[in-house]
Amino acid sequence: MSTNPSAPGGARPSAPYQAGRAAGRLRTFWQRVTEGIQISDLWTQFQAEARTTYGLYSRDVDWDEVRRGKRWKRPFRAAGALFWAMLMKLSPVRRVILLLAVASLLLFPVHVESDHRSVIFASPGILAPGVLLLFLLIALELADRVTMKRDLEIAREIQRWLVPEKPPAVAGYDIAFLTRAANTVAGDYYDTIPRGAARDSAAQNGHLLLVVADVAGKSVPAAILMATFQASLRAIEATGTPLADLVSGLNAYVCANSQSGLRFITAFFAELEPAAGELRYTGAGHLPALIRRASGEVSELSEGGLPLGIELDEKFPAGRASLAPGDILLIYTDGVVEAVNAQGEEFGRGRLLNALRPCDAANSAAEILSHITHVLDGFVGAAPQHDDLTCMVVRRNRAK
């Protein structure tokens, strides 16, 4: 008698039904593990992570020493050097655990002779201690990673408090900004600060200070310096000091905390007078901002000096520009133009200009940013992001 999976009375499900349920559970398990990522994307992600991991360990290898001696020994020397580099990044206790695990897996084979043939294999009972030790090591490292990730998530939330959540409302202008961290926390910074009479009137009757900065380095050290830079900028700006004196004051602060020039900051400062469209600006070792004119021409804002934190007596000459109706100002960090694809090619200034030129006053500032990042993401593909990137777009509206 055939069985019906849905039949009453507790009838036993058929074999095809059981196989279907097992396949469904397997699909559900796979979806949870992979979070729905396609096999091809998983492989691409694995390749990117493998390259990053190899780069982390290979920096600690003396490759000149590896290349010495006979050629056939070099692969073994390279493998040994990479294993040692990995081992030394662990705590002493975990180094011992890893060595015991490797010894358990490699040094206890079982030798069996059968029909004049010699077979070497390891029995599950012998392999079990090594597998358990490796599992213990992974669990310890994962616990550290989870704890560190939680702390970094808190740090990222604090960083978000230090930058504007949304652009200011400025009559006649549309402003948007975007930032992406290479790691959980970033060293890039952006801000829009109403000045003078604009403090209480949404920048309609005063000036607006635009700032984009990039701290040398990445992750936690850069994020800490970025936070102190933000505090210093806000404190100096609150005194109402002119732009040149503000930048000089920030340079003095960064020089005092730069560890002999090891921690410097590139930055671009611009003070906008919205009513007239006048722009007074200076750069501190930063990439020149770009103005895309309504005519389609693109010009650079290149006046400025060295990065903050290099020379205490550095001068920061100011330049002047104007934003006419339909003009677009783009301020960005080097993480944009130095982004690389899987072939190691940089996005570069030329591609950025090509992405900016089609944009015009018919596009909102957010749409312009979206277009630029779409072009950038299409070029980079699945290659890992090696640097923080930040963009700010200021578009002056056309008169209605």
Question: Contacts for 142-150 with beta carbons within 8 Å, 24 or more apart?
Answer: 149/184
pLDDT in tens, 164-187: 888 888 989 999 999 887 776 667
Positions in the chain whose pLDDT score sits under 70 = 1-13, 107-127, 151-152, 154-156, 158-159, 184-186, 196-205, 217-219, 259-262, 400
- Sheet harboring 298-301: ordered strands across? 173-180, 389-396, 328-332, 289-292, 298-301
Confidence (pLDDT) at 134:
87
CB 183 within 8 A of CB 218: yes
- Assess whether 96 and 185 both reside in one domain: no
In this predicted structure, what is the pLDDT of residue 186?
67
Same domain? For 234 and 351 the reply is yes
The total number of structural domains in the chain stands at 2
For 340-373, the pLDDT digits (tens) are: 988 889 999 999 999 999 998 788 999 999 999 9
Which pLDDT belongs to residue 199? 52
Residues 323, 283 share a domain:
yes
Q: Are residues 138 and 275 in the same domain?
A: no
In CATH, what number is assigned to the domain containing residue 366?
3.60.40.10
The predicted structure's pLDDT at residue 159: 66
Query: Would you say residue 227 lies in a domain?
Result: yes
Burial of 378 (0-12, 13-18, 19+ CB in 10 A): exposed
In a domain, 32, yes or no: no
- β partners of residue 280: 271, 320
Tokens found for residue 275: 């009513």
Considering the domain architecture, whether residues 324 and 311 belong to the same structural domain is answered as: yes
Closest CA to 356 of 278, 267, 293, 271: 293
Query: Of 128, 143, 162, which residue constitutes the final position of a domain?
Result: 162
- Does residue 145 belong to any structural domain of this protein? yes
Domain boundary among 125, 140, 162: 162
Domain range for 176 is 165-396
Instruction: Examine residue 195 and state whether it is found in any structural domain, yes or no.
Output: yes
Task: Check whether residue 147 and residue 119 sit in a common domain.
Answer: yes
154, 218: one domain: no
